[in-house]
Amino acid sequence: MKRLHQLFLVALTLFFFSSISAHSTEYQPVAASSSSQLWPLTSAYDNNTSTIWSSNTHGSPAATEEIAVWWSGVQSVNYVKLLPRYVQSCAALGFPIDFRIYYSGGPNNWVEIGNYIDYPRPNRCDWIVIPLPATVQTDGIRIIATKLGGDDAGTPVFQLAEVKAGVEAGFNQLSFGGNNAAALPNKMQVAGVQANAFNPTRLSNWNYDERGSSMIAPNPGAYRNIYSPQAVQLSGSVWRIYFHGWDGVSAPLYDRIYTTVTFDDYLHFDAHYLQIDHGNCLNVGNESVVRVAPGDWRMTYTCMRTDNLNKTGYATSGDGANWSPNTGGSSMINVTGYPNWAAGDYNGVNPIIKDSNAVWHYYFMESSTNPGVEHATSTDGVNFAFVNRAQQEPMRALNDVKAFSYGGSTHYLSCYHMGQSNLWMSTSTSLSNLGPTKVAFSSYSNEDKMMITCGWVQDGTRVYGMLYGACAADCDPAAPSRNRLFARWLQKKVVFQNNYVTWDVSTGFGMKNSRLAMSNKIETGVFKIYDTDGQTLLYTSPLVTVREGDLWNYTGS
């Protein structure tokens, strides 16, 4: 087959060039590998949607046909528009199944910018609008079909009503990143939808991580119960996650504290490593982990003593992976001024946080008929003095407190559980009064019906989401041996809509990716992206065609 640039010198004298506008440029086709005498090449650029260009027909879909557009001078291009040949039912005829798009990088230099495999058959009488991965500077576009669709008789052929290309500023914030329909049946993925900087009024759109129990599953073994996740960012996309439980042990004797690491923002996880063995405690867990500064890590945790009373132990570390002591029971928190501290039972609530004045704040809850979250302070992080009850609402087991800057003040975000189908949160500007609670979110399915413990995913300026332990609906509340680690991600709300569909049911996949459920394999419409309150519109895309398995990248605010 002749290269298209061999045709261009002849074609240049035969065709005129279209005008260039500031936002959208229409280009004239000037060459094709073949053309039907009845449906000539000129029909693909005559601005008449009722005329058709057609290649020659073939005996097999495994044939190659192509068409090219070019124009005078180099122009910006970030999309290609194809109008298929539609019949009255809006089913496309002769539209390629497999095709590639190239741009001209100079004489005899075609640069591939998209490879489209198993493209769904268009069925809405819409333009097929294909954004390029990035804006390119070029004087020509080439489309090569390598697997042909059928005409009304099923004969393989390449047919189009119109071909256009141009530039839309809106595609600077939304780009196409490929397709993986095998891994995303009936879904598409939009990356870059993680939360912006912390805003206490925009904490509503929590997407369930669709991997569910497999996000962080326990190790294989007879007893696999794990929960109480705590996350600390090490650098960039690297995070260390702590949790406690059995994690695959052969006998249900003792809880221990473990860690794993993700190097890619919660897409994959390293092996599990023991951090704190039970030591003199029957169980250790419900850990709170703080990296104060490089080389200075602190951990508090519940220690169940042999007298069955729960107290709070602590450990220190220089790197977050090697702790001293690394067994429970030898280093314990002490609180003065709280009635019955020595004889009380304090299970499951151990958060610590260091404020800007270098004062440590410790929260605990006594097992009693009127449990509330108590508050103590310290200058050394070990010897505390009781201050007050910081959360007046009963039945709120506090698991994590994180600090954020907003509106010139420090805001504290807290999360709570109570072994039910809800997790709660509160915001406040005071560590002595954590503020009223509200439901953050409820269980997503029967797999996370009993939600036990929670921990924020925070990088200092924003909250990305919440990790939590949970047990399936049919687990035994007295011995929840099926606890696993789940996640909800605070993400921008993604909606895709046109005159036929509105898709807004999303799940998360890692903290930066949202997956949108699709009810059709191909649609042309617009994306709307809202902030994490689910209401503040941030972006509306140009018309764009999406298909099952698409991977999109959002880079807007």
pLDDT higher than 70, residue 539: yes
Place 265 in a pLDDT band, splitting at 50, 70 and 90. very high
pLDDT higher than 90, residue 429: yes
DSSP string, 203-264: ---EEEBTTGGGTBPPPSSSB--EEEEEEEEEETTEEEEEEEE-SSBSSS---EEEEEEESS
526: number of Cβ within 10 Å: 16
Please confirm whether the linkage preceding 252 is cis (ω < 30° from 0). Answer: no
Place 475 in a pLDDT band, splitting at 50, 70 and 90. confident
Rounded-to-integer distance, Cα 369 and Cα 317, Å:
36
pLDDT higher than 90, residue 335: yes
Q: What is the pLDDT of residue 277?
A: 97
Rounded-to-integer distance, Cα 290 and Cα 329, Å:
20
Q: What is the pLDDT of residues 164-181, one digit of tens each?
A: 999 999 999 999 999 999
Place 1 in a pLDDT band, splitting at 50, 70 and 90. very low
DSSP string, 192-205: --B--S--TT----
Q: What is the pLDDT of residues 2-30, one digit of tens each?
A: 333 333 333 332 332 232 233 344 445 57
Q: What is the pLDDT of residues 391-407, one digit of tens each?
A: 989 889 999 999 999 99
Q: What is the pLDDT of residues 38-54, one digit of tens each?
A: 999 999 988 999 999 99
Averaged over 239-262, what is the pLDDT? 95
Q: What is the pLDDT of residue 10?
A: 30
Averaged over 474-500, what is the pLDDT? 87
pLDDT higher than 90, residue 228: yes
Torsions phi, psi for 11 (to 5 deg): -70, -25
Averaged over 50-71, what is the pLDDT? 95
Q: Which helix (H) or strand (E) holds 7?
A: helix 4-11
Best CA proximity match to 103, nearest among 55, 125, 71: 71
Contact criterion met (CB below 8 Å) for 464 and 434: no
Q: What is the pLDDT of residue 25?
A: 47
Q: Which helix (H) or strand (E) holds 68?
A: strand 65-83
319: number of Cβ within 10 Å: 12
| Residue 554 structure tokens | 């959002």
Angle 393-396-397 from CA coordinates, rounded to 5°: 140
| Angstrom distances, CA of residue 470 to CA of 65, 203, 256, 421, 466 | 55, 21, 17, 9, 12
Q: What is the pLDDT of residue 3?
A: 37
Contact criterion met (CB below 8 Å) for 459 and 512: no
Determine the 3-state secondary structure of 45 from DSSP. Answer: coil
Q: What is the pLDDT of residue 6?
A: 36
Q: What is the pLDDT of residues 101-157, one digit of tens each?
A: 999 988 889 999 999 999 999 999 999 999 998 899 998 899 999 999 999 999 999
Determine the 3-state secondary structure of 182 from DSSP. Answer: coil
CA dihedral 88, 91, 95, 99 (to 10 degrees): 150
Residue with tokens 């895709």: 496
pLDDT higher than 60, residue 416: yes
Sequence-separated (6 or more) residues with CB below 8 Å from residue 218: 224, 225, 226, 245, 246, 247, 248, 484
Q: What is the pLDDT of residue 72?
A: 78
Rounded-to-integer distance, Cα 312 and Cα 324, Å:
15
pLDDT higher than 50, residue 522: yes
Best CA proximity match to 135, nearest among 172, 82, 177, 176: 172
Beta strands in 459-535 (DSSP E): 463-471, 484-490, 493-497, 502-503, 506-508, 513-517, 522-530
Q: What is the pLDDT of residue 478?
A: 59
Which residues are paired to 232 by β-bridges? Answer: 240
Q: Which helix (H) or strand (E) holds 375?
A: strand 373-378
Q: What is the pLDDT of residue 368?
A: 80
8-state DSSP, 170: G
Rounded-to-integer distance, Cα 245 and Cα 223, Å:
9
122: number of Cβ within 10 Å: 26
The residue that leads in pLDDT, 146 or 369, is 146
Rounded-to-integer distance, Cα 505 and Cα 502, Å:
9
| Residue 239 structure tokens | 């995070």
Q: What is the pLDDT of residue 28?
A: 55
Per the confidence metrics, is the pTM higher than 0.85? yes
Residue with tokens 């495999």: 117
Give the 3-state secondary structure of 94-151: CCCCEEEEEEECCCCCEEEEEEECCCCCCCCCCCEEEEEEEEEEEEEEEEEEEECEEC
Place 215 in a pLDDT band, splitting at 50, 70 and 90. very high
97: number of Cβ within 10 Å: 19
Determine the 3-state secondary structure of 171 from DSSP. Answer: helix
pLDDT higher than 90, residue 482: no
Best CA proximity match to 315, nearest among 295, 304, 330: 330
Averaged over 206-234, what is the pLDDT? 93
Q: What is the pLDDT of residues 508-519, one digit of tens each?
A: 999 999 999 999
Contact criterion met (CB below 8 Å) for 424 and 439: yes
- Give all domains of the chain, ordered by start, each with its CATH number: 4-172 (2.60.120.260), 187-194+493-554 (2.60.40), 206-490 (2.115.10.20)
Burial class (CB in 10 A: 0-12, 13-18, 19+), 332: middle
Query: 73-77, 191-195, 476-480 — which is least confidently predicted?
Result: 476-480
pLDDT higher than 70, residue 477: no
Q: Where are the alpha helices (DSSP H) in 458-504?
A: none
Burial class (CB in 10 A: 0-12, 13-18, 19+), 456: buried
447: number of Cβ within 10 Å: 15
Average pLDDT value for the chain: 92
Rounded-to-integer distance, Cα 395 and Cα 369, Å:
10
